[in-house]
Amino acid sequence: MLALAPIHPVFASLLVVGATTLCCALLLSLAAILLARRPDTVTEAILRCLPQTQCGQCGHPGCRPYAEAIVAGAPINRCPPGGNATLRALAHLLDVPQLGLDPLHGSHKPREVAYIREAECIGCVKCIAACPVDAIVGASGQMHTVIAAQCTGCDLCVEPCPVDCIEMRVLPADNTAQEPSAQAVSECIRCGHCERVCPVSLLPQQLYWYARSAEHAALERYGLSDCIECGACSRVCPSQIPLVAVYRDAKRGLRNAQEQQQLAQLARQRFEARQARDHDARQLEQVRRSERERATTRAAQVEAAVARVRARTLQTPDAQTPTVTSAVERARHKALERVAKMAPLDTQAGRSPPSVESLQRLVSMTERKLQRARQKLAAASAAADAETAALLAQAITRLEQRLAAARHDLGGLQGADA
């Protein structure tokens, strides 16, 4: 039997180093492949925590830009619609201290939805253009309606309305939850009796603490949905804590949170679809503008060529002049037809102008508002309320400007009809 020759220590060390390097390279390549295929990023994780109202109160044009700003180092406390729930989720995700809401960006309010007083709506479609999630339906000159289930309460549709027929209304609170009374809830002494009697092997004590602090992610992780509400834990609790009632309310809160998360994701999808649609429309308009410019330039070149041919014909007439002139005229007409074809595209791209009836309603309604504002101004001046009088004076100025613009548009339409 042949004996293997001993390996020199230097060669053995080189072999070990080479094998180790090869293993490290393989591990790094595998990690790069796995990380490249992983769709979840820090920005996406932050985006899932945000309420997707797209309101801009954070100072950014949407929830995704704010998520990207947080990744870049922006504070996490600039989202009033999300409230403490969003702050808690972001602080837990990023492992940073939970801060209070920044008062410069607003305060947390109950969820609101836009409401259009349809009898006053003139069908101007300005609110439809302002809604970032396409929650308003309607057409030019027709009544508009808000889809309450899709409205995020961003308040962006109120300002563009020329007749002030949009208002924000607070959704009715869910009063179905029945929290245990303060008298019935005592402090948990961590005895562990509830854990021993649970028929589905849950940790009732941990679920109780997470339910009290409304930590929905922890409740899901510890299997709150597996609780069968048998009442065994409540019967053995020496502190007489109504654990079943606590778990039932926690389940209801968890369902509500999941529903809100689903609505937020749907709002995000509608917002991103609208952004993509607007981007495509801008690109199409840019292409059409370039085509119009080229057609106009071509028409100008043809006109210049016609002028040169006519000048040359007047100076040196010959037998071929009619043929050359007719060819030039055909080229000129062809260029002008190309320019004319671009005009219908602009007309189709724009919205139809308001009708005479809608402008008359707008003028009448603005006149009534102006009259009421002047009456309130007189009352405020008589009561020596300078602050209210100043606000009313500003409102009267805006109404007068709006009334003048509406009368001007109405006069133009009536003159065109005449």
Q: Is pLDDT above 80 for 384?
A: no
Q: Read off the pLDDT band of 39 (50, 70, 90).
A: very low
CA angle 386, 392, 398 (to 5 degrees): 140
Asked if residue 160 is part of any domain, the answer here is: yes
Give the pLDDT confidence score for residue 337 in this predicted structure: 66
Q: What pLDDT digit, counting tens, does each position of 262-306 carry?
A: 888 888 888 888 888 888 888 999 988 988 888 888 888 878 877
| Claim to verify: residue 115 and residue 169 sit in the same structural domain | yes
Q: What pLDDT digit, counting tens, does each position of 185-198 carry?
A: 568 888 889 999 99
CA angle 275, 277, 282 (to 5 degrees): 95
* Structural domain ending residue among the three candidates 173, 189, 210: 173
Give the pLDDT confidence score for residue 354 in this predicted structure: 62
Give the pLDDT confidence score for residue 41 in this predicted structure: 81
Q: How many domains does the chain have?
A: 4
**pTM for the structure as a whole:** 0.53
Q: Read off the pLDDT band of 311 (50, 70, 90).
A: confident
Q: What angle do the packed helices 42-49 and 83-94 form, to 10 degrees?
A: 160
| Claim to verify: residue 92 and residue 77 sit in the same structural domain | yes
Q: What pLDDT digit, counting tens, does each position of 128-182 carry?
A: 999 999 999 998 888 899 998 889 999 899 999 999 999 999 877 654 444 444 4
Between 119 and 6, the higher pLDDT residue: 119
Q: Give the whole-number percent of the chain exceeding pLDDT 70.
A: 79
Q: Is pLDDT above 60 for 328?
A: no
Asked if residue 215 is part of any domain, the answer here is: no
* Structural domain ending residue among the three candidates 76, 103, 130: 103
Token pair of 120, please?
């006053």
b/e code 345-355 from CB counts within 10 Å (16+ = b): eeeeeeeeebe
* Structural domain ending residue among the three candidates 173, 189, 222: 173
Instruction: Say which CATH number the domain at 89 has.
Output: 1.10.15.40
Asked if residue 198 is part of any domain, the answer here is: no
Token pair of 371, please?
């009259």
Q: Is pLDDT above 80 for 310?
A: no
Q: Read off the pLDDT band of 105 (50, 70, 90).
A: confident
Report CA Rg, the chain: 35
Q: Which of 128, 158, 156 is nearest to 142 (CA)?
A: 128
Tell me which residue range forms the domain holding 406: 356-417
| Claim to verify: residue 114 and residue 167 sit in the same structural domain | yes
Asked if residue 375 is part of any domain, the answer here is: yes
Asked if residue 190 is part of any domain, the answer here is: no
Q: What pLDDT digit, counting tens, does each position of 62-98 carry?
A: 899 999 999 888 999 999 998 888 898 898 888 888 8
Asked if residue 9 is part of any domain, the answer here is: no
Asked if residue 369 is part of any domain, the answer here is: yes
Instruction: Say which CATH number the domain at 402 has.
Output: 1.20.58
